[in-house]
Amino acid sequence: MKTVLVLISGIIILSSCYQRIGDLTIVANRNVDSDKEYVILQRNAQGAAKMKKDDALELAIDNATEKYRGEYLMNVKIYVKGNGKKIKVEGDVWGMKSETSVTNIEVESSVKKKIEFENGNTVSFKNSGKIVEGIIVGINSNGAVVEFKNLIGKLTKKEINFDDLTKIER
């Protein structure tokens, strides 16, 4: 009796979970215009649908893209529920940049300012998880030697890579 209960509960648990059946680089239900510049609108968006006339995958893709007003999905993972009647897709939604849409996108920016470090510059950097300020007292090819007050207030010197320094202009 015990083994029958374990067997039945195991079947129920396995049949209620989604199983990953594949990965796709890009999937779309509409034509993608190669002349347009698309941007990422949402990462890891999900869409799900139940089987209606064999169109569950199409509906799941539409549910994921329409929520963020996107055109297509990239880096897609496709999941099917054990009974095959439910499909879930997960991926990055891409579409046209819209000034009225509010989304969780990663901001990309670029800085075109040339930064030159010199002795005596005030800089900031992370030290033990906190941002601290210091003064450059020496420069070499690897980075700059910065003098700063450590966590206990003692004046300390440390060599910091240029990539980890932020120049402060006052």
The per-residue pLDDT for range 54-105, each reduced to its tens digit, is: 778 888 888 888 888 888 999 999 988 867 778 899 999 998 876 544 555 5
Task: Tell me the domain boundaries of the chain.
Answer: 18-95, 122-168
Question: Contact, 56 vs 86, CB < 8 A?
Answer: yes
- Cα–Cα separations (whole angstroms), residue 50 to 83, 91, 118, 151: 11, 18, 64, 58
CA 24 to chain centre: 18
Q: Which residue has the higher pLDDT, 23 or 109?
A: 23
> What is the pLDDT, as a whole number, of residue 17?
76
Side-chain half-sphere CA neighbours of 141 within 13 A? 0
Residue 8 banded pLDDT, cuts 50, 70, 90: low
